[in-house]
Structure 1
Amino acid sequence: MNNPGWVDLQVNGHNGVNFSDPELTESEFLRAADELFAAGTAVFLPTLITSPAEVYRRNLPLIRRAVERHGLAGAVPGIHLEGPFIARGAIGSHNPEWVQAPSPETVERLYQQAEGFVRLITVSADAPGAPEAIARARKLGIAVSVGHHLANTADIVNAADAGAQALTHLGNGLPNQLDRHRNPIWAGLAEDRLSAMIITDGHHLPADLIKVILRVKGADRVIVTSDASEAAGYPPGHCRVLGNDAILTPDGKLYNPAKNCLVAAAVTLDFCMKHLASLELLSDAELLKVGRTNALRLIGSTPECMETTRQENTSAT
């Protein structure tokens, strides 16, 4: 199908720009935004991964002000915090030193540091204090997704009861080995109140698991994200990505060989949607839902924000 203007709720950076970089500049952010718009992403949430406190204090208002000054509020409606409220046992490529326990007070502090610009937050459902933190986020108007956890069914249910709405990159952000029955993938699939965000770059999930997720959740409750990093646009080879010494293979796999884990992705959402379409699991109408409509619904946006033309978006710089 033709690209209608995809909506990406998890973009860590692009082509040399890392949104969690302690030296991120406004011009770098705007360049990355322009390149994302040119690559077919019409709306995105810049995503900060688990970071030191000073990075949140610095980068959250920096991004918000860049968006405001350059008229990008429709195309960049807020920030996704993928951390610091994740589980050390499901850390993935994040740095365990910077993990924090979720609490209403910390959620409030990050929200204030961002000047109200947090639109989505990922929380480990099995962390002590998670339900209270989730409830506070929802009162602030922040959408909540759970992930990077070792949550059981009770944890997932409690998170949904508290207001959680989604699952962050279901099937990823986990140890390489899990209990065959009692694990966060099954628990997340079974909770009907939670939509599944998935990364369909051809490396994060095998095609058969994508099919299972789509069959269980249905096209109305699946959201495709890219998990794009600063390596999106890089040539194959060794690279430093999100604080990891990583390798980008010729077929696009980005991984940390020392930790034996993926390190986000090196593609944009348009690539992910083309790969998903190639699996022939969804109709064009359903692809539109998982690549655009469902994401807008999760963050409380409306289709009108999609009306900004790509020419207007790329006038940021």
Structure 2
Amino acid sequence: MNAQGRTIEMPGLIDLQVNGYRGVDFCDPALTAGAFARACRWILEAAATAFVPTLITSSRRTYEHNLPIIAEVLDSPEFRGRVLGIHLEGPFINPQAGARGAHKAEWISPPDVGYLKRLLKWARGKAVILTLAADVDGAEDLARCAQDHGAAVFLGHHLAGEEHLRRLAMAGATAVTHLGNGVPAQLHRHNNPVVAALGEDRLAATLITDGQHLPAAMIKTILRTKGPANCAVISDIAHLAGLSPGRYEVGGQPVVLADSGRIYDPATGYLAGSSATMLECMNYLASLDLLGADQLAAVAFDNPLRLIGRQPHEIAAGPKIHYDTAARYLYRVLPAPVNLKGPRLGQRP
């Protein structure tokens, strides 16, 4: 702590959902090992202590090309204990508009254990999370297959009800991916996937606290219902983070990066990822004054690791993260000397 007894060193930030950064899209069919490694360095310098690169629903050709490249880079000593595996968000999700979000409909696959085994083979044992829809026939078989290959099963991009979630929890699913998102804008007031997930005690929740994806009241509701011990903050950061506002593509779909940082599909208005880093997401959450320092550490570090079966001692040291309890503000402690034009959100020189 500092002289006023208000600065606490945090254990770190673990981000389970990173889609790319500064123009490097992990789903780019032309992805190279050099570009992926470069993006990893940027993320580890600016955004997280450790993270899980994520591929949203993609073409088979993209999976076959990108997964081995990512797996090979993950094997390098440079990223050991910092880049923790691969998150497959899709392709086994609900194809209906709203549920699929920014995922391209033509690349969504019905449950197919054979296809999943190919994806896991291309990932060379590095897949640590599979996000799938709970409401598609055969979801339980996919869940068991993924677990047999060492991947945790998360549920999302679906229209699942209580019974769907109950069955998948019994089949070993452990969490809901970005709870409150990946669903249609309008839902039945009671029978909907958000309420069903809140009511299923066996499922933890990941949530995007960037100030865009969830209103403060919804963040509070999730934290109060699930409890901080069963929540993990993610950024869901897109490769557009760090770029100038304009029109781009995410997962083969046209999107707009607005001046506000909001990334959305101009045709539907649905969000298509975040432009906020994990550190920025944690600062927004801290500003809401819902959690104490220990609880902030839990949702940012302890719980994400637990959800993928990792231990704190397996994480390599990164830049120190301090939390000013009076200002409710997290920041990186940068080694000197550092030439900065000026501090960004979540960063102090």
TM class by shorter-chain length? over 0.9
Shifted more, 138-147 versus 105-114: the winner is: 105-114
CA contact (8 A) 2:93 2:157 kept: yes
Which of 300, 308, 313 is the aligned partner of 2:309? Answer: 300
Residue 201 of structure 1 corresponds to 210
Which of 58, 69, 72 is the aligned partner of 2:65? Answer: 58
Q: Report SS of the residue matched to 1:307.
A: coil
CA contact (8 A) 1:167 1:197 kept: yes
Residue 49 of structure 1 corresponds to 56
Matched, 1:78 2:78: no
Which of 242, 250, 270 is the aligned partner of 2:251? Answer: 242
String of CA shifts for 1:210-252, please: whole Å, max 9, x gaps: 0000000001000100000111111223333332322222221
Residue 131 of structure 2 corresponds to 122
Which of 78, 102, 109 is the aligned partner of 2:118? Answer: 109
Residue 219 of structure 2 corresponds to 210
Shifted more, 97-106 versus 56-65: the winner is: 97-106
Residue 339 of structure 2 corresponds to none
Structure 2 unaligned spans of 5+: 1-7, 321-349
Q: Report SS of the residue matched to 1:9.
A: strand
Matched, 1:150 2:159: yes
- Opposite residue 227 of structure 1, the aligned amino acid is D
Matched, 1:186 2:195: yes
Residues paired across the two proteins, number: 311
- Opposite residue 64 of structure 1, the aligned amino acid is A
- Distance in 1 (CA, whole Å) between partners of 2:249 and 2:115 is 29
- Higher radius of gyration, 1 or 2: 2
Matched, 1:288 2:297: yes
C-alpha displacement of 1:33: 0.6
Q: Report SS of the residue matched to 1:176.
A: coil
CA contact (8 A) 2:104 2:253 kept: no
- Opposite residue 64 of structure 2, the aligned amino acid is R
Matched, 1:9 2:11: no
String of CA shifts for 1:108-153, please: whole Å, max 9, x gaps: 2211111111000001000100011101111222100000000011
- Distance in 2 (CA, whole Å) between partners of 1:2 and 1:260 is 39
Residue 315 of structure 1 corresponds to none
- Distance in 2 (CA, whole Å) between partners of 1:187 and 1:287 is 25
Aligned-residue sequence identity (percent) comes to 45
C-alpha displacement of 1:3: 5.6
- Distance in 2 (CA, whole Å) between partners of 1:281 and 1:250 is 28
Matched, 1:21 2:33: no
CA contact (8 A) 1:5 1:306 kept: no
TM-score of the aligned structures, taking structure 2 as reference length: 0.86
| Superposed CA RMSD | 1.4
C-alpha displacement of 1:69: 2.8
Structure 1 unaligned spans of 5+: 312-317
String of CA shifts for 1:15-36, please: whole Å, max 9, x gaps: 1000011000111111111111
Q: Report SS of the residue matched to 1:262.
A: coil
